[in-house]
Structure 1
Amino acid sequence: MFKTELNLPKNYDKTKSYPLILLNDGEIFRLNALKDKAIIIGLKAVNRLDAFTPYPAKNIRPGIPDFGGSADKYHRLVFETFLPEVLSEYNIDHERIVYGGYSLGGLAAVYSLSTVDIPGIVFSLCGSFWYPNFIKYCKDTDFKNKKASVYLLNGKNEGDKHNNILENAPKIATDLHSIIKEKIMDVTSVFDNYGHHENLESRYSNLCIWLSEKLKV
């Protein structure tokens, strides 16, 4: 269901305990600022429309396959099968496990808060919170991972000039941030003035600064 890409710190020391960052979509170069401070593993889903979505839904774009809604299966593989293997192979601080992603990868990360209690830190950049009925799901669901530290970033101009549900993405994201704050105590909520695919370098740079503080690295 997914392939992996691994980055070990340059001077990895087996006797030293390291943070672990699990990044959906596998673009671990985005976290270069942390490459020598944490073990970073990119999770490359074979079908991200299935792996990163919480339940089946019609796609909003004609001619593109519908969303499969297999996030539960994906997370079981990640946290119940893959993660134990990683923990047995490398010296990882169990209190400093991070999970997150961008767009649908961010949606999956936030969804995991309701079903999985393992990651101590969860982040979402431009999470696809417009996903059909996701706001209602979050509002109605008692989250399992209430002790996590959470970083949420969305752009105020996401969905601009789209003639579908994406036009409401900023408002939906605002509502979602508020809902997450009600369920989890430690939430950092950020909105910038960009669209969905803009300002990526700065967005990841700010995330790395936040992660460095949380991980104490």
Structure 2
Amino acid sequence: IAVKVDNWNQDLSPWEASAVFGREGFGDGAGELLQFLLGQCVDRRKTYYIGGYSLAGLFSLWTAYQTDIFAGVAAVSPSVWFPGFMQYMKEYDMRAKSVYLSLGNREERTRNPLMATVGDCIREGYNLLKMQKIRTILEWNPGNHFKDAGIRTAKGFAWLIRNQGAE
């Protein structure tokens, strides 16, 4: 299932947050989008995975704290710098069995102080998932946030499929 998102900052954000760059802040439309997705995932005989890049990667990660319908998450260059998200990961349990995390090795080298925390945040998130005994990997890719988004996303889903049912 692929979903077109009309307003990235509104539809993919789990809660409201101030603008990080530019003037547009973040909305709280993730819950509504998740409800739509759950309506598409009705055949319990199927295995469902969710994934996305950047803010869609954050959304995908967040959804797996809300429901156990997704066997795995491909959170590719996820916006884990999002205000309050690391605290959220500490307070709630991951409900997916597998989580693929990746980041470009130059992503944390940015002038934006909040976005520069992405490397520390993803390392911390990876460790939190490991402590919960979630099957996970943190893969570092060459380049910044905008390099090879499609290839990186495909690698995430490929890892999930390869590791389906692995113990």
Normalised to the residue count of structure 2, the TM-score between the two structures is 0.87
Counterpart of 2:48 in structure 1: which amino acid? I
Structure whose residues are more often strand by fraction = 1
Whether 1:102 aligns to 2:14 is no
Q: 2:40 aligns with which of 82, 85, 93?
A: 82
Deviation of the 1:160 alpha carbon = 2.1
Deviation of the 1:56 alpha carbon = 0.5
Q: Determine if contact 1:157/1:170 at 8 Å carries over to the other structure.
A: no
**Unaligned segments of structure 1, at least 5 residues:** 1-40
Deviation of the 1:108 alpha carbon = 0.5
Q: Larger radius of gyration, structure 1 or 2?
A: 1
Q: Which residue of 1 aligns with 2:12?
A: 52
Deviation of the 1:140 alpha carbon = 1.4
CA distance in 2, matches of 1:202, 1:142: 29
Runs ≥4 in structure 1, deviation > 4 angstroms?
A: none
Q: 1:69 aligns with which of 28, 53, 59?
A: 28
CA distance in 1, matches of 2:158, 2:93: 30
Superposition pairs for residues 1-217 of structure 1, below 5 Å? 41-63=1-23, 65-79=24-38, 81-84=39-42, 87=43, 93-94=45-46, 96-143=47-94, 145=95, 147-214=96-163
Q: How many correspondences in the alignment? A: 165
SS of residue in 2 equivalent to 1:45: coil
Normalised to the residue count of structure 1, the TM-score between the two structures is 0.68
Q: Would the alpha carbon gap of residues 208 and 119 (structure 1) be closer, same or farther in structure 2, given more than 3 Å must change?
A: closer
Structural RMSD (CA): 2.1
Q: Determine if contact 1:155/1:170 at 8 Å carries over to the other structure.
A: no
| Identical aligned residues as a percent | 22
Per-residue CA distance 1:5-61 (angstroms, 9 max, x = gap):
xxxxxxxxxxxxxxxxxxxxxxxxxxxxxxxxxxxx211112121121111100101
